[in-house]
Amino acid sequence: MYYSESVKVWRTKNKEEALRDFFIKFIYCSNKIENDEVRLVDVEAVVNEEKINYFSESERNIIEIKKHIELYKDIIKLDGNIKEKLDMDIIKRVYFCFTGNKLAKDIYKSIDELVQDINNMQINEETALDVVSYFCCYFEEIINCEDGRVVRILINYILIANNLAPINIFYYNKEEYYLALESFYKNKKIDRMRKFLDDQAYKTWIKNYNLKLKSLKGFLKGCSN
């Protein structure tokens, strides 16, 4: 399982710097899954509070990026020092931020029960993928996949709150993401989503880390010759 190794890499890093780098890629990918017109350069500019020259058709993209930043600053927090368990106030805020709607009573009750289930589960590097896969699949089913950005930010809240590595779902793997959800809808098993998130964790934390280690080892070997 890649996730345990991802957590090890995550814990070697400066949390503020690691979250900031993750945050930029996460905003880009999460928005691009919903809207292919989102650009990485715009995300970087907004995060860095740089002046942006954009055409009127890209204004919606900038607004969506700013929504993520607001949530991260106030809920996720760039220092990663989250202590609170997931609760309905957080979910209501995230849901409203991205959909502009309030949770209907029947949906509220179902999500509240799901949150209680999640908060009663033991979560560590060995169980984390089971917990967030369970939450992701059932949450998406309850809200009928209204806006996937809601659940993607919530699963990372759960992980960061437990000092575990957040996971980026890369936009170019969105078809696999949807297939994992469809598999759950058919058989109510989270296996495919769990494997998918494990692969995404590898791409988020280990893939580039291993490349950097390989380059460093090659450099050191060259110096010793």
DSSP string, 73-88: IIII-TT----SPP-H
Question: 74: how many CB neighbours lie within 10 A of its CB?
Answer: 10
Q: What is the mean pLDDT of residues 191-218?
A: 76
CB 49 within 8 A of CB 203: no
108 falls within a domain: yes
218 falls within a domain: no
Most distant CA atoms of the chain, gap in Å? 70
d(CA 36, CA 139): 24
pTM of the model: 0.87
Chain segment 124-160, per-residue pLDDT in tens: 999 999 999 999 999 999 998 778 999 999 999 999 9
Chain segment 163-186, per-residue pLDDT in tens: 899 999 999 999 999 999 999 999
Q: Bigger pLDDT: 47 or 117?
A: 117
91 falls within a domain: yes
Question: 221: how many CB neighbours lie within 10 A of its CB?
Answer: 9
Domain of residue 192 covers: 2-207
Chain segment 93-117, per-residue pLDDT in tens: 999 998 989 999 999 999 999 999 9
180 falls within a domain: yes
- Residue 204 φ then ψ, to 5°: -70, -45
Burial class (CB in 10 A: 0-12, 13-18, 19+), 178: middle
165 falls within a domain: yes
> Percent of the chain, pLDDT > 90?
60
Alpha-helical segments (H) within the chain: 2-12, 15-34, 40-47, 59-71, 88-99, 105-119, 128-143, 148-161, 174-187, 191-201, 207-224
215 pLDDT tier (thresholds 50, 70, 90): very low
202 falls within a domain: yes
148 falls within a domain: yes
220 has pLDDT over 50: no
- What CATH number corresponds to the domain at position 15? 1.10.3290.10
User: What total number of domains does the chain contain?
Assistant: 1
Calculate the average pLDDT of the chain. Answer: 86
d(CA 134, CA 130): 6
39 falls within a domain: yes
